Copies of this chain bind each other. A is one copy, B any other.
Amino acid sequence: MPPHPTIALDAMGGDIGPAVVVAAAEIARVRYPELHFQFFGDEKAIASELDHWPKLQTVTTVIHTDEVVLGTDKPSQALRRSRTSSMGLALNAVKEGAASAAVSAGNTGALMAMAVFALRTLPGIDRPALASLLPTLRAESVMLDLGANTQCTATHLVEFAVMGAAIARTMLGQRRPRVALLNIGVEEMKGTEPLRDAAAQLRASPDLPLEFIGFVEGDQISSGDIDVIVTDGFSGNIALKTAEGTAKLIAGLLKNAFQSSLWTKIGYIFAQAGMQALRDHLDPNNHNGAVFLGLNGIVVKSHGGANAVGFASAIGMARDLVMDNLAERIAQDIALVQAIPAAEALSVGGR
């Protein structure tokens, strides 16, 4: 680990661009004085934001490019600008060792395609996955895959379990994270064949650095009883978005409830501090940062609508994963997966 790990920042991604990304880097600089930063994007726009933060300038380089991957670009279009766009250049800096991690708030599909193209998957990893932290009643949990892989085999799910556990050790500080497969029931015979096969393989692998819990249903995702929830990208995306929608629904109802009468409005004035704590706990900016797992390098995706605090959380996630040598640890753990017997050799329930 270099004494001053460098984080490559795509300054042009997200809804706002350089203003948010530069302000976020300043927050991260104060939190993590060891970090250096590389900004990729419009030099003028970045420089005018850096003018506000003289100390940040001393640990920063700016690499100019006019080209930007748009939110509407298809992955195939974005790939054509791998070597010229701000997103592509940030990923390239990781590939060439100039930076230890890249962070972008740009187009997810494009970032995924370009990250795989630039960094390639780790040996033994079939498919990279997108993982994120979610708020729970206790603290946070890790969920993956969140949309990178629509359909998954048992092998993919087992790889996701191992990679998710590696993240949970770093981000949640759990030595032996509790890992579960998302399913429509907890009984062994429930769900699809890849799920049942993956469960059989994980049950047969006590040497993996995780505790396999079995199946959980959607209502357990936010319970805090599970550290890592493993699912295919289709179900993961549905679950994540449904949770967001439900939170928005209840926030709307709560607002109506507080505005329904003079009494409830007075109630809000008294309860304000508690409500703020609730909002903070659920604020996506405080859980921001999804990581592409299984690549030769660390790539973190920030929410496109994140503010500076949110983007700084994503930088913090990248920094923690760099300090913990995530990519190397995943490579080691995946080597253990190779030793798991194939599903056909195990007695799989429900067949």
**B221 with A184: CB separation less than 8 A:** no
A97 vs chain B, min Cβ distance (A): 34
CA distance A324 to B237 in the complex (A): 37
**B274 with A257: CB separation less than 8 A:** yes
Which label, helix, strand, loop or mixed, suits the secondary structure of the A interface? helix
- In the complex, A1 has a CB within 8 A of chain B: no
Number of identical protomers: 2
**A191 with B221: CB separation less than 8 A:** no
Q: Number of residues in A with C-beta < 8 Å to the partner? A: 60
> Which of A51-59, A201-209, A244-252, A288-296 contacts the other chain?
A244-252
CA distance A206 to B188 in the complex (A): 43
- In the complex, A117 has a CB within 8 A of chain B: no
Task: Give per-residue flags for A248-277: 1 if the beta carbon is below 8 A from chain B beta carbons, else 0.
Answer: 111011101111110110111111111101
Given the known inter-chain contacts A234-B191, A246-B243, please indicate yes or no for A263 contacting B257, CB distance below 8 A: no
Given the known inter-chain contacts A150-B184, A150-B191, A274-B257, please indicate yes or no for A219 contacting B244, CB distance below 8 A: yes
Neighbour of A137 across the interface among B223, B249, B274, CB < 8 A: B249
**B249 with A135: CB separation less than 8 A:** yes
A266 surroundings in chain B (CB, below 8 A) = 270
